[in-house]
Structure 1
Amino acid sequence: MKLSVLVPAYNEEQSVLSCLNSLISLSYTDKEIIIIDDASVDRTPQIVETFLSKNVILVRREKNGGRAAALNSGLEIATGDAIITTDADTVVPADWLQRFKSQLERPGVVAVGGAYQAQNRDKPLANATSILDQIMNGVFKKSFVPNKLSGVNSAIKRDALLNSGGFNENSWWSEDSELGWKLSRIGKVVYDPENIVSTQYPDTWSGIWRRKFYWGYAMGLKFREQIPFNIKLWIRPTLFMALFISFLAFLVTVPYGIRVSFVPGVIFLVLCSFLTLLYVPPGVFIMARTGDRMSLKTLFVLAILPLVRESAYVYGLCLGFCKGRAGSITPSWKENIKRGGIEATETKR
């Protein structure tokens, strides 16, 4: 089975070198590595060009169009039986493709999603966020997220991807989730928690908030278009809506005395305690297993981080569901959603 690895890149001169070194070190032989430069204004394409002699293909777009548009540009020239996607700020393990191949050969499987962790684990916020993702993706095996695919670590059979219309360029923040929903109607979309890549995580509170808000907003748009009839997908937003409502009810009823504010106050404290027990003990286990230094600061961040992340997610979800529209909010790096021409450069084989 030939595998085509697609890597969209926009202004990634600080990280693309590590990504490329991990890709050319892959032990899988029947592969092609395609880097799609999405009209970078830094030295990203020049760095990629130094790898052309190592069977790396460079696709250069004339106009910035975003991640999905870049992936479609790579898909146009890809020749593999399956398409593998990751990001230019990501490092992959040597057996990455073998694991995908073994999963794709299972009967009825059309796509496989893998796990991810922070590459910049020296940053407290990034590390705590990574631990939370490992809890959701590893311990709970993505039971409470829309689907098993993640753009940073996915494999999709080429025919299924083409039959699904490729990557949706209008779904700017959730093209992977939308694709997962489409593919699940065709065949099995499975998840491999042991196939782990390392990627760059936000290491500021504002970066964490924006990331979850955008994700929630995109999910709100999709839920409004076609609400999934899967109760597990509503557990997280329902839980945090209950948390926020109980807290607001407590604040409103405080002036009326303890008898009135007692019930919402108790509900809020019970929910907070539940979240602490839900995330902190598994987080301690993960830190011990991965050899992370245990500190009170990390544990404190781990205790309050779910509230911040899910606040952003639920806020974005409600906003997108109630009054959002596609294209009304765009990430700062995406200046132009028009798709430009492409130019492919590769070494002679």
Structure 2
Amino acid sequence: MDKITVIVPVYNVEQYLDRCVNSILNQTYRNLEIILLDDGSTDNSGKLCDSYKDERIVVVHKKNEGLGLTRNVGIKKATGKYIVFIDSDDYIDTTMIENLYLDLKKNNADTCIGGFKRIYKDRVVNSVNPYAGKIVEKNEILTSVLSKMFGKSGNNNDYLEMSVWKVLFSRDIIVRNRIFFPSEREFISEDIIFDTEYYSNANRVYMSSDVGYNYCDNEGTLTTRYNPNRFELQEKLYLELDARAKKLGIYENVKARIDTTLVAIARYSIKLEQKFSKQNGRRKAFSNIKRICNNSTLEKVLLDYNLEESKKSKVVNDLIKNKNYHLLWYTMLLKNRFGI
């Protein structure tokens, strides 16, 4: 059985770390190298990392750099044939790594992509890989795998979650091609940047039916926290993915997907501006909403944007397109108060 390296960035997660680490230690697949990367934690996370008594664990304490750059430290220290990334506020089922490994070996693949479970306070939602059971060869990986990670296309259900934490990666592909993560402080989604480089070098991908990764909807995560620059960061990612798609020859496959994502993030960013207007001040919030609506990239996308979406989304899209700021404000007020 090949050694598998599990890379776990750790930052101020003392309330979740035991759950995460124990779920890795209890894996049915035993030949693991577990790298815990304390990214300058200011709580007890660093001490917790040092407290685990298992010879498979390697602990690294480092200055704070963020998720992407911390994962890179793990990649450089990894010695396993394969690599798994796990976020320290999540956890995995006891059979996840074994299932992904057996699926990969059985199908002679270098990469195996599973699904995941989204864990809410009151429910659990399974997100099965929509292509489970499929083998994708090198000449189809860009169009059949990577393209699907660029975002949803209207109401189609063919989106592949681009997050790296439910995938068994080949360390050889990563190292040989010098593939690393950018900082999430540079791109709002460092995973998709990594994916564009990794999957363009993969040779055979297997789509697993495993849903052993548990993604927890914890309060205060990067995706739920207010960020005044959220939309501008998304625009930067949009332009980067636009350029990469053209270079990889998959632009026509992903154009609708990156457009849909940009418009969706515009709606969400405006909603958050209204939601946090009491803390930030109504005048500032209104100014930020105007700034988003007048963004030249968004204006260009909305000019001929007619992808299939819900009626509620279309109404908001039209309000943004027509710069109807006041009606947009009250629409988001209703959404925030009543969830309509």
- Same fold (TM > 0.5): yes
Query: Match of 1:196?
Result: 212
Aligned-pair distance for 1:202?
5.2
Letter in 2 for 1:150: S
**Overall identity of the aligned pairs, in %:** 19
1:185 aligns with 2:211: no
Cα distance in 1 for partners of 2:211, 2:54 equals: 28
Aligned-pair distance for 1:218?
5.6
Query: Match of 2:326?
Result: none
Query: Match of 1:33?
Result: 34
Q: Is the 8 A contact 1:87 1:152 kept in 2?
A: yes
Aligned-pair distance for 1:198?
1.0
Cα distance in 2 for partners of 1:199, 1:107 equals: 26
Q: Is the 8 A contact 1:119 1:200 kept in 2?
A: yes
Q: TM-score, normalised by structure 2?
A: 0.60
1:272 aligns with 2:310: yes
Q: 1:41 to 1:111 in 2, by over 3 A?
A: same
Note the residue ranges of structure 1 that are not aligned, 5 or more in a row. 246-266, 274-303, 316-349
Cα distance in 1 for partners of 2:10, 2:34 equals: 13
Q: 1:76 to 1:30 in 2, by over 3 A?
A: same
Q: 1:206 to 1:112 in 2, by over 3 A?
A: closer
Larger displacement relative to structure 2 (175-184 or 140-149): 140-149
Q: Is the 8 A contact 2:235 2:262 kept in 1?
A: no
Cα distance in 1 for partners of 2:171, 2:131 equals: 29
Query: Match of 2:68?
Result: 68
Cα distance in 2 for partners of 1:215, 1:30 equals: 39
CA RMSD of aligned residues (A): 4.0
Q: 1:19 to 1:206 in 2, by over 3 A?
A: closer
Letter in 2 for 1:75: I
Query: Match of 1:342?
Result: none
Alignment: residue pair count? 248
Letter in 2 for 1:227: A
Q: Using CA pairs below 8 Å that are at least 6 residues apart, which structure has the higher relative contact order?
A: 1
Q: TM-score, normalised by structure 1?
A: 0.59
Within 5 Å, give how 1:324-335 maps onto structure 2: none
Query: Match of 2:300?
Result: none
Indicate the SS of the match to 1:29.
Answer: coil
Cα distance in 1 for partners of 2:129, 2:104 equals: 20
1:151 aligns with 2:164: yes
Within 5 Å, give how 1:66-105 maps onto structure 2: 66-105=66-105
Cα distance in 1 for partners of 2:108, 2:131 equals: 23
Partner of residue 224 from structure 1, selected from 242, 246, 250: 242
Letter in 2 for 1:196: G
Larger displacement relative to structure 2 (44-53 or 84-93): 44-53
Indicate the SS of the match to 1:8.
Answer: strand
Write the deviation string for residues 94-129 of structure 1: whole angstroms up to 9, x where unpaired. 11111221233256633233322233332xxxx6xx
Q: 1:138 to 1:183 in 2, by over 3 A?
A: closer
1:167 aligns with 2:185: no
Query: Match of 2:278?
Result: none
Write the deviation string for residues 287-331 of structure 1: whole angstroms up to 9, x where unpaired. xxxxxxxxxxxxxxxxx7xx49x98xx99xxxxxxxxxxxxxxxx
Write the deviation string for residues 250-279 of structure 1: whole angstroms up to 9, x where unpaired. xxxxxxxxxxxxxxxxx99x8425xxxxxx
Cα distance in 1 for partners of 2:232, 2:263 equals: 21
Cα distance in 1 for partners of 2:96, 2:120 equals: 20
Indicate the SS of the match to 1:35.
Answer: strand
Aligned-pair distance for 1:232?
4.5
